[in-house]
Homo-oligomer: A and B are copies of this chain.
Amino acid sequence: MENFSYCTPTRYIFGHDAESHAGEMSSQMLGEKVLIVYGKGSVVRSGLLDRVKHSLDNSSVGWVELGGIEPNPVDAPVYEGINICRDNHVTGILAVGGGSAIDTAKAIAAGVPYDGDFWDFWAGRATLEKALPVGVVLTIPAAGSEGSGNSVITRIDGMRKISLRTDKTLRPLFALMNPELTFTLPPYQTACGIADMMAHIMERYFSPTTGVEITDRVSEGVLTAIMEEAPKVMAQPDNYDARANIMWSGTLAHNGICGTGRKEDWVSHAMEHEISAVYGVTHGAGLAVVFPAWLTFMAARRPAKIAQFAHRVMQVAATGDDLADAVLGIDRLRVFFRSLGLPVTMKELGVGNPDIDLLVNKLHENKGETLGGYMTLSRKETTEIYRLMC
């Protein structure tokens, strides 16, 4: 087991009417004036945004707002949000939505107290040390950003999609999580969220570190729970308990508990970020394509951990042949993703003829000539993994 330092200070308020605590929690933790950051569509249509504003009003918390955040969030609204905050003396940011709203809120929070360009932190030119406090009303279980210290933003100039990972600075101080708010998610978005949270666990699980049985078992438990509850939410979108299990799983998948004590991988996310940046696909759908390909590549080279995954999560009976068991486990993962209506090839993703050279070039420009934790990869290997997606 590797040494680690771990802290998850987020207060999770989970259950029916959780969003009704928005005013009280903002008053305690975000200060006297918040910027509400949200997307469009359902948050507005459902009346949720109005309920949140009402809750803020009732707690005498002032607010300004920034709506219209798109999936795969870009830098332009971040600059807009920073200006709004400075002009209005905003003391904290309240995201209402999923990962895109939350990651934008975090980037604004990082930028407000910084004299330079917020992108310096994402580009690795400066180290983030302080940020405005962030709170969340979660509507999409997927990105896990409600409990993580991370934020993924795309630079429009050059379409660079970069994840900034912080230990603590960008972790939300609170997350209000009402599973009922997810009843109306479209099936495809529900499925993409499930693939995203599973990927967050697998990026940590497929590690070169041995002797981390406790973290393996917790990770396998969360993966198993997700796979058991996923068919229920697809079949019955208003099944409260199933939605609640999926929602809480999405947080545990990415708040770090599945990574304690080991090196992590994150190659699949990096490879998917390039696909999203170039082709604009949904992140979770891209991951459903990338992960089976990455696993297939690794099974031929480092099968033991993938066989363990097959045995413990995919219910493959151990035959003594790790490679065969691993391959069967990966097949079952593909079958599972397909059962949710997700793509598992580039073609199914709508990218019939991907420009693999472009993807590989962008990947290594952003991540360096070698990357990966489970196994170190250079251009030759990443090219092969992209080809395995076709």
Contact = CB atoms under 8 A, between A and B. Distances in A.
A11 interface: yes
Nearest to A246: B214
Given A221-B218, A222-B218, A252-B218, A213 B14 contact: no
A42 B229 CA distance: 48
Contact of A244 (B7, B211, B242): B211
Nearest to A179: B1
Nearest to A226: B214
Interface centre among A12, A245, A260 (most CB of B within 10 A): A245
Interface string A1-25: 1111111111111111010000000
A257 interface: yes
Give this chain's copy count.
2
A224 interface: yes
B13 A5 contact: yes
A27 B375 CA distance: 40
Given A212-B241, A248-B260, 20 more contacts: A1-B179, A1-B248, A3-B14, A3-B16, A4-B14, A5-B12, A5-B13, A7-B11, A211-B241, A211-B245, A212-B245, A213-B225, A214-B226, A214-B245, A214-B248, A215-B248, A217-B221, A218-B225, A221-B221, A244-B261
A104 interface: no
Contacts of A224: 217
A210 B229 CA distance: 13
Closest 8 CB pairs of A and B: A3-B15, A211-B241, A221-B221, A217-B221, A7-B11, A217-B225, A214-B225, A1-B244
B228 A1 contact: no
B214 A222 contact: yes
Given A212-B245, A214-B222, A214-B249, A4 B15 contact: yes
A220 interface: yes
A222 B229 contact: no
